[in-house]
Amino acid sequence: MKPYCFLNGAFVPLSEAAISVYDIGILRGYGIYEAFCTYGGKPFMLNDHLARFRRSAEGLSLNIPIGDNEIEDAVLELIRRNGYQEAILRFILTGGQALGGIEYDETKPTFYMLAEEFVHLPESVFTNGGSLITAEHQRQLPQWKTIDYIEAVKLQKKRKEAGAIEILYHAGGKVLEGATSNVFIVKDGVLITPSNNVLHGITRNATIISAAPHFKTEERDITLSELLAADEVFITSSFKEVVPIVKVDEKPIGSGAVGPVAKEVLRLFREFAYTHGAQRSDIVVPTPAHQ
């Protein structure tokens, strides 16, 4: 089956899709990004992703050219055309053709969607746990999901050499977020996750919602030393779900094995995703005042 993308209002074979070399997203890296997956063939927390996409667009003064209902219809049609049972969807929005090399016309954006088959991580990752490497870095405009992944891309070789599943950013002694994920620590049965200077992930929010009846959650600053002394650590991500972390920079976390809280949080998240999540896309965790 020939793969398709959705580009500026039309479904186009992927091999024929093209944007201008003068697109300001290419020329100046000016654009936003959103990504999510399906569970049971239905987009997971789509309204939440669209709300965040619109917040990011507003933050960069970008115009999303179609409404949410049209986007949802296009998402479902793109999945159908590509023949995926479970899919990853990626949205890219830029200012369109650059004007004078540094400006753009807000009425003529570039907007496209990509679809890929969603292949889950091996179950051994969840039973054995993964590891992180750390890097001192804070993303520019962390409250919005932009196309600036320079540091993340640059560090992939180092991550692979270390056998790590993710890169954990920290700055000023404070833990922030993963390159493509959010981080939680567990201390005395309490889930703790950073709230300032991070992107509030949709899987992060779904994890908090699904765990709320069973665990207390705190959203606050975490120091790097506090993370290393935690009972357990796990990360959350649209394409990784809830991954227990047993080692950070070669230092074991807790007992060095997957802990009971991470196992239960993963179970609760999956239960939510498969039985409620696709129908609960109306749940939007409010954006904190600092953002």
Considering the domain boundaries, does residue 136 fall inside one?
A: yes
* 282: nearest Cα among 54, 32, 65, 50: 50
Strand 217-219 relative to strand 190-193, pairing: parallel
What is d(CA 133, CA 162) in angstroms, rounded to the nearest whole number?
A: 8
| Average pLDDT rounded to a whole number, residues 33-61 | 95
Contact call for residues 93 and 64 (beta carbons, < 8 A): yes
Average pLDDT value for the chain: 93
* Total number of domains constituting the chain: 2
The answer on 156 and 108 residing in a single domain is no
The answer on 172 and 104 residing in a single domain is no
Show the tokens assigned to 190: 């309490």
The answer on 144 and 102 residing in a single domain is no
The answer on 135 and 112 residing in a single domain is no
Considering the domain boundaries, does residue 284 fall inside one?
A: no
Q: What is the dihedral of CA 69, 71, 76, 82, to 10 degrees?
A: 160
Contact call for residues 37 and 13 (beta carbons, < 8 A): no
Considering the domain boundaries, does residue 97 fall inside one?
A: yes
Show the tokens assigned to 268: 């609760």
What is d(CA 210, CA 203) in angstroms, rounded to the nearest whole number?
A: 10
The strand pairing partners of 193, in sequence order, are 219
Reported confidence tier of residue 289, pLDDT bands at 50, 70, 90? very low
Residue at which a domain ends, from 101, 117, 133: 117
The answer, as to whether pTM is greater than 0.85, is yes
Contact call for residues 238 and 37 (beta carbons, < 8 A): yes
Q: How much is the pLDDT for 20?
A: 97
The answer on 131 and 64 residing in a single domain is no
Residue at which a domain ends, from 61, 92, 117: 117
Reported confidence tier of residue 72, pLDDT bands at 50, 70, 90? very high
Helix (H) / strand (E) element for 262: namely helix 260-275
Considering the domain boundaries, does residue 285 fall inside one?
A: no
Considering the domain boundaries, does residue 286 fall inside one?
A: no
The answer on 159 and 106 residing in a single domain is no
167: domain CATH number is 3.20.10.10
* 7: nearest Cα among 20, 18, 23, 21: 18
Strand 42-43 relative to strand 10-13, pairing: unpaired
Residue 284 in this model has a pLDDT that exceeds 70 = no
Considering the domain boundaries, does residue 289 fall inside one?
A: no
Q: How far is it between the farthest Cα atoms of the chain?
A: 58
Neighbouring C-beta atoms of residue 67, cutoff 10 Å: 10
Within 148-223, where are the H helices? 150-154, 156-162, 202-211
pLDDT tens figures, 132-156: 999 999 999 999 999 999 999 999 9
Q: How much is the pLDDT for 290?
A: 33
Neighbouring C-beta atoms of residue 21, cutoff 10 Å: 8
| Average pLDDT rounded to a whole number, residues 218-235 | 97
What one-character DSSP code corresponds to residue 189? T
The answer on 268 and 127 residing in a single domain is yes
Q: How much is the pLDDT for 282?
A: 40
End-to-end CA distance of the chain: 43
Residue 177 in this model has a pLDDT that exceeds 80 = yes
Considering the domain boundaries, does residue 60 fall inside one?
A: yes
Considering the domain boundaries, does residue 92 fall inside one?
A: yes
The answer on 177 and 112 residing in a single domain is no
The answer on 48 and 164 residing in a single domain is no
Residue at which a domain ends, from 80, 100, 117: 117
| Average pLDDT rounded to a whole number, residues 105-110 | 97
The answer on 227 and 148 residing in a single domain is yes
Range of the domain at 112: 4-117
pLDDT tens figures, 179-192: 999 999 999 999 99
| Average pLDDT rounded to a whole number, residues 209-220 | 96
Reported confidence tier of residue 127, pLDDT bands at 50, 70, 90? very high
Q: How much is the pLDDT for 274?
A: 84
Reported confidence tier of residue 288, pLDDT bands at 50, 70, 90? very low
86: domain CATH number is 3.30.470.10
Q: How much is the pLDDT for 283?
A: 37
The answer on 157 and 34 residing in a single domain is no
The strand pairing partners of 55, in sequence order, are none
Reported confidence tier of residue 245, pLDDT bands at 50, 70, 90? very high
pLDDT tens figures, 16-26: 999 999 999 99
What amino acid is encoded at 92 in this protein?
A: I
The answer on 89 and 145 residing in a single domain is no
